[in-house]
């Protein structure tokens, strides 16, 4: 594309208002509960992030609370795709949670720092 340049991304946020704040449930009858927190690079909770999980059957969405916590009730799967939206991010982040052997799965998300979650470049 001669003479054209890509426009840089803009930060998204602050989060969130309206429908995005409403929890969208994937499976109310699910046999697995996923719990976790979202942390920034300093280890502080992110109280206005939005976490989505994706499975072949659909997706669920959950905003974090004042402690940075989120949770889902879903069905067991080999793995679940996880998408994170948060203040200060130029793009959403994508990672994956592998199956755990019990009914309560723990998945904390660290946006930066020494415990940073592995994110895919998509």
Q: Is residue 118 part of a domain?
A: no
Which residues constitute the domain of residue 64?
18-110
According to the model, what pLDDT value does residue 33 have? 93
The Cα–Cα gap between 101 and 119 comes to: 23
Alpha helices in 1-122 (DSSP H): none
Report the alpha-carbon distance of residue 119 to residue 9 in Å, rounded: 18
Predicted confidence pLDDT, tens digits, the chain (122 residues): 556 666 666 555 554 455 456 667 667 778 999 999 999 999 999 998 999 999 988 888 999 999 999 999 999 999 999 999 998 888 899 999 999 999 999 999 999 999 999 999 88
pLDDT at 11: 56
Please tell me the total count of domains within the chain.
1
Nearest residue to 110 via CA among 68, 78, 73: 68
Residue 9 lies in a domain: no
- Does some domain include residue 5? no
Would you give the DSSP letter of residue 17? -
Specify the pLDDT at position 2.
59
The CATH number linked to 106 is: 2.60.130.10
| Within-domain flag for 117 | no
């Amino acid at each position: 594309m001669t003479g054209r340049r890509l426009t840089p991304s803009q930060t998204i946020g602050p989060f969130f208002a309206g429908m995005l704040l409403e929890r969208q449930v994937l499976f109310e009858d699910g046999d697995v509960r996923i719990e976790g927190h979202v942390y920034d690079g300093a280890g502080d909770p992110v109280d206005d992030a939005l976490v989505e999980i994706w499975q072949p059957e659909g997706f669920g969405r959950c905003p974090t609370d004042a402690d940075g916590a989120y949770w889902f009730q879903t069905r067991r799967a080999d793995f679940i795709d996880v998408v994170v939206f948060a203040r200060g991010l130029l793009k959403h982040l994508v990672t994956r949670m592998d199956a755990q052997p019990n009914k309560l799965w723990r998945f904390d998300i660290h946006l930066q720092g020494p415990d940073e979650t592995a994110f895919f470049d998509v």
